[in-house]
Homo-oligomer: A and B are copies of this chain.
Amino acid sequence: MTARPTPPRSRRERPAKPALTRESIVATAVAVLRAEGLEKVTMRRLAQELDTGPASLYVYVRNTAELHAAVLDELLGTVGPAPADGDWRDRLERVLGAYTAMLMEHPSLARSALTARPSGPHYLNLIETLLALLDEGGVPPAQAAWGVDLLLLFATATAAEHAGRGSSADRARQEEWDALAHAVHNASERTHPHIAALAGVLLSGTPSSRRSWGVRTLLNGIERTAPSDPTPS
């Protein structure tokens, strides 16, 4: 008889069946997200990972959308507080940049963030940080409040644009961009004079220069647009 030091205790090598809790489910979901993307964060896959059946997860999580929202708030914890140096606009741009960068790593999460706005503690921290920076910049409170929404919508939507269905997403997006570029360059001067005249600049700019311009544009607008703005006669 040969020595057989560690007999398998379960079917697989998994060290121990982890306790089934909301936390263990979310933690597993984050691990699967990091390793294989949100597409694989499914009830069935998570159940398999946790050595149980999909029905068991419904004791702790209402549905897939809620699960994805929980995952998002978890990742929001990795977006640090505002940096200490620089003027308030710079700092705001960097905070928003960190948020966007996190979402860019998981664009499908951005997509779901758009639909299921998070309300977890990490999300509140982000809002507080942005409000503090706008306050520091002297932006009137009402405009700051609505402005935070606009800034987060912009950042989230920018990241969501890069979401793809499956791994062939990059190729597909390239083809879409080519199609749009082709359409813009071939726009008739007669029917689409403005597009024809601006073809170059319409397609110009790096993603980061556009993002930076977007944030500055938003801030300039937020600073000087009052919520009701009744049309002066």
Contacts and interface: CB of A to CB of B under 8 A. Distances in A.
B160 A114 contact: yes
Nearest to A202: B145
Interface stretch (A6-14, A41-49, A97-105, A124-132): A124-132
A91 interface: no
Contact of A221 (B142, B146, B156, B221): B221
Interface in A107-149: 111, 114-117, 119, 124-125, 127-128, 131-132, 135, 141-142, 144-149
Contact of A142 (B125, B187, B201): B201
Interface stretch (A30-38, A52-60, A212-220): A212-220
Nearest to A200: B145
B117 A114 contact: no
A115 B161 contact: yes
B183 A119 contact: yes
Contacts of A205: 146, 227
A209 B226 CA distance: 12
A144 B187 contact: no
Contact of A218 (B149, B213, B218): B218
A131 B183 contact: no
Contacts of A182: 119
Given A114-B161, A157-B114, A195 B131 contact: yes
Contact of A115 (B111, B150, B202, B209): B111
A90 to B, nearest CB: 9
Nearest to A65: B165
A222 interface: yes
Contacts of A210: 146, 149
Given A124-B187, A124-B192, A165-B65, A218 B221 contact: yes
